[in-house]
Amino acid sequence: MTTINNNYLKLQGSYLFSTVAKRVAAFKAANPTETVISLGIGDVSRPLVPAVVEAMHKAVDEMGEAATFRGYGPEQGYSFLREAVLKGDYLSRGINLSADEIFISDGAKSDVANFQELFSSESKVALQNPVYPVYLDTNVMAGRTGAFENGRYGGIVYLPCVEANNFAPELPKEHADIVYLCSPNNPTGSALTRAELKKWVDWALEHNSVILFDSAYEAFISDDDIPHSIYEIEGAEKVAVEFRSFSKTAGFTGTRCAYTVVPKALEISDVRGGKASLNALWLRRQTTKFNGVPYIVQRGAEAVYSPEGFKQTREVIAGYKENARVILDALKNAGITAYGGDNAPYIWLKTPAGLDSWGFFDKLLTEARVVGTPGVGFGSCGEGFFRLTSFNTPELTREAAARVAALKF
């Protein structure tokens, strides 16, 4: 008899953002004349910048000529993009990596979800609470957790991120083989300082642990004390994998392109008592399960590193950061405590007294016609908090902010 992977039965209901979408759809169906503004899911509103569009148009023309047509590309990514990433994001910051340590992919979400395949099912996982759901759910699917009870999965090391510690995770008090860190953070909008990140790298070196470091929002960093890459910390190349994306940096949410850095210096134990290279294992995994990102898309991503592309994408990011400022000002005027928005596109607000996360969601939707994301959907430590994003248009963001500021509590 054919049976399913029972680990999937441990998953709690539907994916968070699917639940939000269903509630919003039901409200719209019951209130067809109302205009609902979304500050919820982290999708972008601005189009691809001209430099990227021009590069993609040129690549389309190349694909239409026999002399320049390309079929299957290298699974690790074309060398022109890997070299652009290397020079633009690492060598320019004094970080010594090589192009063959960079893997181009169709999304940071995919890579973060898939990378856990390289570790044994017995590996102990630690992650922030609240947390981006993909980190947790993929390890549930892989069988690394026990049952779900009282808002938590058995077998997971939770790292509470609360107001008292400025939403920065504390070092675990028990051993963990794999640690997921996200900085700037989704959902809290907080970011780890250089000193805080150094503590994590030193801890991982001492405990022979691996850090899976999601820095998809590094382009929003403005404070000098916030590292853009974990490899700015000495020794990180021996313990850390870094995930980055063009989705929020350059509006590629619908175009799909990202990359993962797996240093050759990062080795873990194998069952024979030796060492295994995660770089070699990830290359083997990608060549087996992935056919690469389209040539046209990679040419567009390459253009992000051109002088024009860099200038244009940074102007877009500046617009989203201005949206965050508008939202934060509106929340302050409404008497609501809020965090984030400075080094990240996310605002993490404390729900007013008497309202839990889903209660605030309902009030925001029904009274202000604004959509956000309940903090409890990211984990038990998110209860009593709520996430807003700055990715809508300036006009709609200002309108949504005004609606929120007008709410009565």
**Segment 55-97, tens digit of pLDDT:** 999 999 999 999 999 999 999 999 999 999 999 999 999 999 9
The H-or-E segment that residue 387 falls in is strand 385-389
Domain that residue 268 falls in? 52-307
The H-or-E segment that residue 129 falls in is strand 125-129
Whole-number pLDDT of residue 41? 77
Whole-number pLDDT of residue 314? 98
Query: What single-letter DSSP state applies at residue 49?
Result: P
Q: Are residues 260 and 371 in the same domain?
A: no
Beta bridge partners of 339: 348
Tokens at 337, concatenated: 């405590």
Closest by CA position to 296, among listed 18, 59, 103, 79: 59
Q: Are residues 37 and 176 in the same domain?
A: no
Asked, for residue 1, whether it belongs to a domain, the answer is no
Closest by CA position to 378, among listed 108, 161, 139, 221: 161
Whole-number pLDDT of residue 270? 87
The H-or-E segment that residue 164 falls in is none
Q: Are residues 276 and 179 in the same domain?
A: yes
- Residues in the chain predicted with pLDDT less than 70, given as ranges, are 14-15
Last residue of some domain: 307, 337, 367? 307
Whole-number pLDDT of residue 358? 94
Q: Are residues 236 and 324 in the same domain?
A: no
Tokens at 371, concatenated: 């959509």
Whole-number pLDDT of residue 124? 98
Whole-number pLDDT of residue 17? 80
Q: Are residues 395 and 347 in the same domain?
A: yes
Say how many Å lie between the first and final Cα of the chain, rounded. Answer: 56
Q: Are residues 378 and 297 in the same domain?
A: no
Tokens at 332, concatenated: 């302050």
Number of domains observed in the structure of the chain: 2
* Residue showing tokens 């503590």: 199
Closest by CA position to 23, among listed 399, 372, 398: 372
* Residue showing tokens 């691809």: 48
Whole-number pLDDT of residue 308? 98
The H-or-E segment that residue 13 falls in is none
Looking at residue 105, which CATH number applies to its domain?
3.40.640.10
Asked, for residue 236, whether it belongs to a domain, the answer is yes
Phi, psi of 349, rounded to the nearest 5 degrees: -105, 150
The answer to whether 260 and 111 are in contact (CB under 8 A) is: yes
- Measuring CA to CA, how many Å separate 343 from each of 30, 40, 224? 38, 18, 10
Whole-number pLDDT of residue 21? 87
Q: Are residues 92 and 217 in the same domain?
A: yes
Whole-number pLDDT of residue 271? 81
Asked, for residue 169, whether it belongs to a domain, the answer is yes
Cα–Cα distance for residue pair 334/247, rounded to 1 Å? 32
Q: Are residues 219 and 354 in the same domain?
A: no
Q: Are residues 202 and 351 in the same domain?
A: no
